[in-house]
Amino acid sequence: MAQQPTDPVVRDFVAAINAGDRAAFDALLAGDATMSDDGTDRDLAAWVDKEIFSADGRMAVESEEDGGRELVATFTNSTWGAMRTRWRFTVRDGRITRFDTGQA
């Protein structure tokens, strides 16, 4: 059964993805936010468009560590199907400055 992350910013990040709400998602990111996928830095806007919002991305959180800033989740989209993934978030002043994701 999916759980809600403890960290409120990360919880809102997951909720925005699951609602398909790009405006809410973007509001959670710092202006200079960065990300990586499987250890490789990616263009955040392009990756988010391709992997999440254009592909009906969804997250079901399985577990968390570090107060909700590290997650294991089943991430599902219309391109790749379902995969078990790890997510790590850096949050500053109520905004996500970086997230790292990859297969778990």
How does pLDDT run along the chain (104 residues), one tens digit per residue? 568 999 999 999 999 999 999 999 999 999 999 999 999 999 999 999 999 999 999 999 999 999 999 999 999 999 999 999 999 999 999 999 999 999 99
Within-domain flag for 1: no
Give pLDDT, residue 72. Answer: 97
Spatial separation of the C-alpha atoms in residues 18 and 39, rounded to whole Å: 24
Within-domain flag for 2: no
Q: Is the pTM of this model over 0.85?
A: yes
Within-domain flag for 12: yes
Give pLDDT, residue 16. Answer: 98
Give pLDDT, residue 85. Answer: 98
Q: Which domain holds residue 53?
A: 8-103
CATH number at residue 18: 3.10.450.50
Domain count, the chain: 1
Q: Is 24 helix (H, G, I), strand (E, B) or coil?
A: helix
Within-domain flag for 31: yes
Spatial separation of the C-alpha atoms in residues 102 and 38, rounded to whole Å: 4
